Copies of this chain bind each other. A is one copy, B any other.
Amino acid sequence: MPVNLRPPDPKSLLPVAGVMLGVAQAGVRKAGRKDLLLIRLDEGGRVAGVFTQNRFCAAPVVVSRQHLSMIDPDQGIRALVINTGVANAGTGKEGMVRARQTCAEAAQLLGCAAAQVLPFSTGVIMEPLPVDRIVDGLPQCVAALKADSWSDAAEAIMTTDTVPKAVSQQVSIGGTTITITGIAKGAGMIHPGMATMLGFVATAARVSQALLKAAVLHAAQLSFNCITVDGDTSTNDSFMLIASGKAGMPEIVDAKSAEYLAFREAVTNVAILLAQAIVRDGEGATKFITVKVEAGRNVEECRKVAFAIAHSPLIKTAFFASDPNLGRILAAIGYAGITDLEVEGIALYLDDVLVAEHGGRSPAYQEADGQRVMKQAEITVRVVLNRGHAAAVVWTCDLSHDYVSINADYRS
């Protein structure tokens, strides 16, 4: 059961002009489930993205990066093909061949060049991609293309997710109402390094290629790069921002304009909601934990402390048990890697409860107060470093028996 997360109401997911979606049951790994998604863009659309920094990155990541760098942005990407079941990572040269074959097949069906297609995969690593099944499934996707299939699309990219993840928001930019709709998937092998497994956000806004790239970097840094479930950085992480340019608005070209800042904020908000949804549906999650680290010298050291807390199996199991064994949080702060940290200045809060200060437990702290907060489904851990003005936030979940069960059984 995810933490305070429901399947999106399909009616709440607004279509984006210039973007159509079609799904199929291709039987990539298992029969009888949606596992193939085609996102088609009209001519003139733009795409920018960020990818995993894992050195064993998947073949589709390599191919997508190549295609994005080869293509004249104004000729443009025309399609994204996403399969679940098999990650096509750790598959060597044959994996590259199969990722390219997927693109060629989609290109032929859509009447564009193979380099105008971006491939994405998620699933088991080091197993060969059954590309024949994908080739067989693509015509079904084309036949199913519709503008209001975001709900189906969110479902088609799920792996161990228990709930599809999709968000629509609208923002007024220079008097024009712009829709931003996005989907994402989790739910394990989640750790920054880049993004989550897969996230796709689309808008009809007209934005220059340079600013689209800047916006996706900004949004990723404040959303997918702020979450962790298990500290494992996937081979397939990809977060793509699609701007179809169909909105009746002047193109956004100035990075300092109010229009760009409004666009960037709206995209970031959608990305944060998707990233948080991934944590809420993290494998085995029963708690949603926000870790805020404040008053650090720089963002990097705040993130180090926040991730030390968010990755600690001891802290995560204490959250699972609702046990205010909060000294474990001090230990994580201490080993986060800030070599000149003076612990006397640090304050630790659990929601509104002051837990520790001056290097030890606060005299005002009562175990009953810690116990009260630990029992909640949503908890904020706040660490005040008292050595600067920077801050960072990270979202994570607890570590439960179900995490072990899910990952012990994932392939079976």
Q: Which A residues have a C-beta under 8 Å from some C-beta of B? A: 53-57, 87, 89-95, 124-128, 188-189, 191, 193, 230-235, 311-314, 317-318, 320-321, 323, 325-328, 330-336, 338-339, 341, 343-344, 356, 358-361, 399-401, 403-405, 407-412
| Between-chain CB contacts (< 8 Å), 11 pairs | A55-B334, A55-B338, A89-B331, A90-B361, A91-B361, A232-B314, A232-B331, A233-B331, A233-B335, A320-B404, A403-B404
A55-B338, A313-B232 in contact; A325/B91 too (CB < 8 A)?
A: no
Extra pairs beyond A126-B327, A127-B361, A401-B404 (11, CB < 8 Å): A55-B333, A87-B327, A90-B330, A91-B359, A188-B314, A231-B311, A235-B330, A313-B403, A317-B408, A320-B408, A323-B411
Kindly provide the distance from the CB of A229 to the nearest chain B CB, expressed in whole angstroms: 9
Task: Pick the most buried of A321, A335, A403: most chain B CB atoms within 10 A of its CB.
Answer: A335
Kindly provide the distance from the CB of A233 to the nearest chain B CB, expressed in whole angstroms: 4
Contacts of A361 in B (CB 8 A): 90-92, 126-128
Majority SS at the chain A contact face: loop
Say yes or no: B332 contacts A232, CB within 8 Å: yes
Say yes or no: B126 contacts A356, CB within 8 Å: yes
Say yes or no: B360 contacts A95, CB within 8 Å: yes
A128, B404: Cα distance in complex, Å: 34
Contacts of A320 in B (CB 8 A): 404, 408
Kindly provide the distance from the CB of A27 to the nearest chain B CB, expressed in whole angstroms: 20
A56-B330, A335-B233, A404-B401 in contact; A358/B321 too (CB < 8 A)?
A: no
A332, B358: Cα distance in complex, Å: 38
Contacts of A189 in B (CB 8 A): 314, 328, 331
A404: contacting residue among B56, B231, B404, B407, CB under 8 A: B404
Kindly provide the distance from the CB of A65 to the nearest chain B CB, expressed in whole angstroms: 15
Say yes or no: B125 contacts A407, CB within 8 Å: no
Contacts of A188 in B (CB 8 A): 314
Task: Pick the most buried of A94, A95, A327, A359: most chain B CB atoms within 10 A of its CB.
Answer: A327
Say yes or no: B412 contacts A323, CB within 8 Å: yes
Say yes or no: A407 contacts B356, CB within 8 Å: no
Q: Which residue of B lies closest to A321 (CB)?
A: B408
Say yes or no: A407 contacts B360, CB within 8 Å: no
Q: Which residue of B lies closest to A412 (CB)?
A: B323
Contacts of A330 in B (CB 8 A): 56, 89-90, 125-126, 235
Say yes or no: A404 contacts B317, CB within 8 Å: yes
Kindly provide the distance from the CB of A137 to the nearest chain B CB, expressed in whole angstroms: 23
A404-B400, A404-B404 in contact; A335/B89 too (CB < 8 A)?
A: no
Contacts of A399 in B (CB 8 A): 313, 404
Contacts of A359 in B (CB 8 A): 56, 90-93, 95
Q: Which residue of B lies closest to A89 (CB)?
A: B327
Say yes or no: B56 contacts A232, CB within 8 Å: no
Contacts of A325 in B (CB 8 A): 124-125, 410-411
Contacts of A311 in B (CB 8 A): 231
A360: contacting residue among B91, B403, B411, CB under 8 A: B91
